[in-house]
A and B are shown apart, each in its own frame.
Chain A
Amino acid sequence: MGSITDIWTVAILQPMLNALLWLYSVLGDQFWLAIMVFTVIIRGAMTPLMLPQQRSAKKMQELQPKLKELQKKYGKDRERLSQEQMKLYREAGVNPMGGCLPMLVQFPIWIGLYQSIIQALGYQPLQLVNLSQNIYPFMQGVWAEVPLNRFFLGMDLALTPQQLGGLTFALPVLVAFTSWLQTKMTTPAGGGDSQAAGMGQSMTLMMPLMFGFFSLNFSTGLSFYFIVSNIIGIITQGFISGWEGLLFWKGLSLSNLSGLLSPGAKGQSGPEKSKKEPSPTVSQKGSTSGKKKRKKKRRRKR
């Protein structure tokens, strides 16, 4: 157990902590700025992992009509449906589980960043003893910076919104909102596979709620990471698959939201639906929608 902790400390915690401390020292002793720049760097480093996921999301969106077609055709034969779906994914070069890897890679980064923030902004004796043991010997220049300036606009970045109260509760809301926007842009609109669509819509709602919940209980410094990271994700996805997803208010109604919350909705409601598919009738004519799209493309090419 001890060795696992040691590996984690050496491989994840120390590099992240020292990078944060270095950024802090070169960015005018502003920890919030260090977190933001660090986030941009982390997102940059993860681009090779994230881009395929984002491209895959776009392809998944494009495959929705075909998936619906398959659903209609083989809806009663689950095994065949599954085979045909996999075949379709294979032909389109899409990995339906492709989003999992970047997500899994991000988890240690979140945890490492959280620990780094807590250690770097330590304000209790034992926290500082721990910090002293995790600063690289060649970073001696940082010793003089301790204890770090952990305030941003009067807000203590080491404390949680629950501890700080007041306006800091806006941070979890912002985290949840930006996370929702990002997930919404990467999650395929309700489509052929009703189960997958339902899952997708649940994810669109549950993931942001989960991150909002994290932010409520974690230091506000981590909320900065989430918000900046989400904004970068939104911008990148926007460039890949367009900006329509940002128009979240279009077609948004209470009934749509309740539809999202209801597992039985099976993807038949929600803002994407009304936006991406001109009308439910058209989308149900799955066999023709793909042809129509291709025709449109050809027309554009001409």
Chain B
Amino acid sequence: MTKRIRMIGAVLLLLLLGLVLSGCGATPVAQNWPGLTVDGDTVYAITGAPQEVHILDAETGAVKATFMPQGIEGSAAAVSYWSPVTVGDGLAFVGFFQDRSDASNGLYAIDPETGQQQWRVLVNSQILSKPAYADGVVYFGTTDKMVYAVDVDSEGIVTGWPFETDSAVWASPLVVDGRVYVASMDHVLYCLDAETGEEIWQTELGGAIAKQPLLVGDILYVGAFDGRIYAIEADSGQVVEGFDFQAGNWIWSTPLLAGDRLFVTALDGFLYALDPATGDVQAPYPYNSGDIDGGKDVIRANPVQVGEKIVIATEKGYVISVEDAQQVCSWPSGVPEFAVYTTPVVSGEKLYVIQQLSGQVYVFDASALETGVCAANLLYTPPEGD
């Protein structure tokens, strides 16, 4: 009898071990960073558990409305992917994807006041980056390699579109003067005709491109996973010779032109200031965000300009105001609890930040940031899931 019990115990122990290890090693919940968009007096935060679009009053943080596609039951266990919200034509546009819900995946147009769905275009792939709105058309890339253009009036895909690249499109399209610049994970920067979707030129770079380029005059600046910033002629797609810069890790952000310097953040945790003509790092930069606590940090978010200061947000959760490669001030005063991967948004006299795991939205006073006071007020805490 004892032997039998021991045997059953051993078998149960093995099964338990299997279950525990399976639980520990199960495929991690795939995540994107939470979306944050500010338009006038409205904040659109993709947050909560399960994630939803929370439409907030930018001043008070009061919830005006929330949006979840019809037919999707809120479930904290379900993994959903949202793009950040884009506003245009009196509507708010957002991409939604949830595993095994083919009938609901796509681009949604919602009423910015009520959060009511107006229409949708079904696309069974993830839209990870913010759609771009221009002249009555919404452009967005998907993880199934496509770039779509959706006409707001007809609520359908524009003739000639979608355009297919060779890999996932994680970057927001940049629409300027009838051209759509699309960066793809296939290492290629594409220039498309905004009306017809036809390719005008394409330029292959040295690494995957996950972020939108910056257009300055007739030069496009774009960062890639080979750690380089490329300067490309917008007309021809030719890489500008003589511009050379490489960071210590991948570049996953859009550069910022402030004054006569090009500011670049990289996953090595540094903020660089470059000469836009040569790519040379301008002294006294770079600034190492890891210096704040003597460790190593990562910067995924774009740098933003607040007055004379450059503000960066880091993986450790710091929001740092920088001037001349020196920290002017940083937030929070204690050890941060949550990462900030989403680019902070400057709107009027405010700077908005959303944290990765808590999904909390904080607001900074821009003028205070300039004077060296990095103090934030909690604007919104999403309700906890069931």
A binds B: yes
Q: Say which residue of A126, A159, A266 sits within 8 Å of B32 (CB atoms).
A: A126
- The answer on a CB contact under 8 Å between B25 and A218 is yes
Q: Does A214 contact B (CB under 8 A)?
A: yes
Closest to A206 in B: B14
- The answer on a CB contact under 8 Å between B3 and A146 is no
Contact with A along B13-41 (1 / 0, CB 8 A): 01101100110111110111100000000
Among residues 327 to 370 in chain B, which have CB atoms less than 8 Å away from a CB atom of chain A?
Answer: 341
B296 to chain A, nearest CB (A): 8
Q: Does B248 contact A (CB under 8 A)?
A: yes
- Which chain A residues lie closer than 8 Å to B248 at the CB level? 137
A30 to chain B, nearest CB (A): 17
Instruction: Determine which residue in B3, B187, B227 has the highest number of CB atoms from chain A within 10 A of its CB, and name it.
Output: B3
A135 to chain B, nearest CB (A): 8
B75 to chain A, nearest CB (A): 17
- Which chain B residues lie closer than 8 Å to A199 at the CB level? 7, 10
Q: Does A251 contact B (CB under 8 A)?
A: no
Q: Does A160 contact B (CB under 8 A)?
A: yes
- Which chain B residues lie closer than 8 Å to A194 at the CB level? 3
- The answer on a CB contact under 8 Å between B207 and A127 is no
Q: Say which residue of B11, B28, B226 sits within 8 Å of A263 (CB atoms).
A: B11
- The answer on a CB contact under 8 Å between B15 and A210 is yes
- The answer on a CB contact under 8 Å between A195 and B6 is yes
Q: Say which residue of B3, B18, B32, B207 sits within 8 Å of A143 (CB atoms).
A: B207
- Which chain B residues lie closer than 8 Å to A115 at the CB level? 25
Among residues 166 to 220 in chain B, which have CB atoms less than 8 Å away from a CB atom of chain A?
Answer: 167-168, 170, 185, 187, 206-208, 210
- The answer on a CB contact under 8 Å between A207 and B14 is yes
Contact with B along A226-263 (1 / 0, CB 8 A): 00000000000000000000000000000000000001
Among residues 64 to 100 in chain B, which have CB atoms less than 8 Å away from a CB atom of chain A?
Answer: none
- The answer on a CB contact under 8 Å between B27 and A163 is yes
Q: Say which residue of B14, B26, B170, B225 sits within 8 Å of A210 (CB atoms).
A: B14
Contact with B along A82-112 (1 / 0, CB 8 A): 0000000000000000000000000000010
Q: When A198-B7, A263-B4 are in contact, do A126 and B207 touch as well, CB less than 8 Å?
A: no
Cα distance A213–B185 when bound, in Å? 34
Among residues 215 to 230 in chain A, which have CB atoms less than 8 Å away from a CB atom of chain B?
Answer: 217-219
Q: Say which residue of A114, A146, A210, A264 sits within 8 Å of B17 (CB atoms).
A: A210
Instruction: Determine which residue in B4, B18, B128, B249 has the highest number of CB atoms from chain A within 10 A of its CB, and name it.
Output: B18
Q: Is the interface of B mostly helix, strand, loop or mixed?
A: loop
- The answer on a CB contact under 8 Å between B17 and A129 is no
B251 to chain A, nearest CB (A): 10
Closest to B246 in A: A140
Q: Does B304 contact A (CB under 8 A)?
A: no
- Which chain B residues lie closer than 8 Å to A158 at the CB level? 27
- The answer on a CB contact under 8 Å between A125 and B33 is yes
- The answer on a CB contact under 8 Å between A213 and B22 is yes
Q: Does B300 contact A (CB under 8 A)?
A: yes
Q: Does B52 contact A (CB under 8 A)?
A: no
Q: Does A17 contact B (CB under 8 A)?
A: no
Q: Is the interface of A mostly helix, strand, loop or mixed?
A: helix
Q: Does A44 contact B (CB under 8 A)?
A: no
Q: When A146-B208, A147-B208 are in contact, do A217 and B167 touch as well, CB less than 8 Å?
A: no
Q: When A126-B32, A132-B267, A207-B14 are in contact, do A214 and B4 touch as well, CB less than 8 Å?
A: no
- Which chain A residues lie closer than 8 Å to B21 at the CB level? 111, 214
- The answer on a CB contact under 8 Å between B252 and A202 is no
- Which chain A residues lie closer than 8 Å to B298 at the CB level? 129, 132-133
Q: Say which residue of B26, B30, B300 sits within 8 Å of A124 (CB atoms).
A: B30
- The answer on a CB contact under 8 Å between A195 and B208 is no
Cα distance A247–B169 when bound, in Å? 52
Q: Does A144 contact B (CB under 8 A)?
A: yes
A284 to chain B, nearest CB (A): 19
- The answer on a CB contact under 8 Å between B30 and A126 is yes
- Which chain B residues lie closer than 8 Å to A202 at the CB level? 7, 10-11
- Which chain B residues lie closer than 8 Å to A171 at the CB level? none
- The answer on a CB contact under 8 Å between B30 and A144 is no
Q: Does A50 contact B (CB under 8 A)?
A: no
Among residues 145 to 169 in chain A, which have CB atoms less than 8 Å away from a CB atom of chain B?
Answer: 146-147, 158-160, 163
- Which chain B residues lie closer than 8 Å to A210 at the CB level? 14-15, 17-18
- The answer on a CB contact under 8 Å between B7 and A263 is yes
Q: Say which residue of A111, A124, A125, A195 sits within 8 Å of B25 (CB atoms).
A: A111
Q: Does B103 contact A (CB under 8 A)?
A: no
Contact with A along B215-259 (1 / 0, CB 8 A): 000000000011100000000000000000000111010000000
- The answer on a CB contact under 8 Å between B28 and A127 is yes
Q: Does B378 contact A (CB under 8 A)?
A: no
Contact with B along A268-286 (1 / 0, CB 8 A): 0000000000000000000
Q: Does A60 contact B (CB under 8 A)?
A: no
Closest to A212 in B: B18
- Which chain A residues lie closer than 8 Å to B26 at the CB level? 217-218
- Which chain B residues lie closer than 8 Å to A34 at the CB level? none
Instruction: Determine which residue in A133, A163, A194, A202 has the highest number of CB atoms from chain B within 10 A of its CB, and name it.
Output: A133
Closest to A124 in B: B30
- The answer on a CB contact under 8 Å between A147 and B27 is no
- The answer on a CB contact under 8 Å between B167 and A129 is no
Cα distance A123–B170 when bound, in Å? 11
- Which chain A residues lie closer than 8 Å to B227 at the CB level? 140, 143
Instruction: Determine which residue in B8, B11, B168, B227 has the highest number of CB atoms from chain A within 10 A of its CB, and name it.
Output: B11
- Which chain B residues lie closer than 8 Å to A111 at the CB level? 21, 24-25
B residues near A (Cβ < 8 Å) are 3-4, 6-8, 10-11, 14-15, 17-18, 21-22, 24-28, 30-33, 128, 143, 167-168, 170, 185, 187, 206-208, 210, 225-227, 248-250, 252, 267, 298, 300, 315, 341
A-B contact pairs, 15 of them (CB 8 A): A111-B21, A123-B30, A124-B31, A125-B128, A132-B252, A137-B248, A144-B207, A147-B168, A199-B7, A206-B14, A210-B14, A210-B17, A217-B25, A218-B22, A218-B26
**A-B pairs with lowest CB-CB distance, top 7:** A263-B7, A124-B30, A210-B18, A217-B22, A126-B31, A132-B267, A206-B14
> Apart from A111-B24, A114-B25, A146-B208, what 13 extra A-B contacts exist at CB < 8 Å?
A123-B30, A124-B30, A124-B32, A137-B248, A140-B227, A143-B227, A195-B7, A198-B3, A213-B18, A214-B21, A218-B25, A263-B3, A263-B4
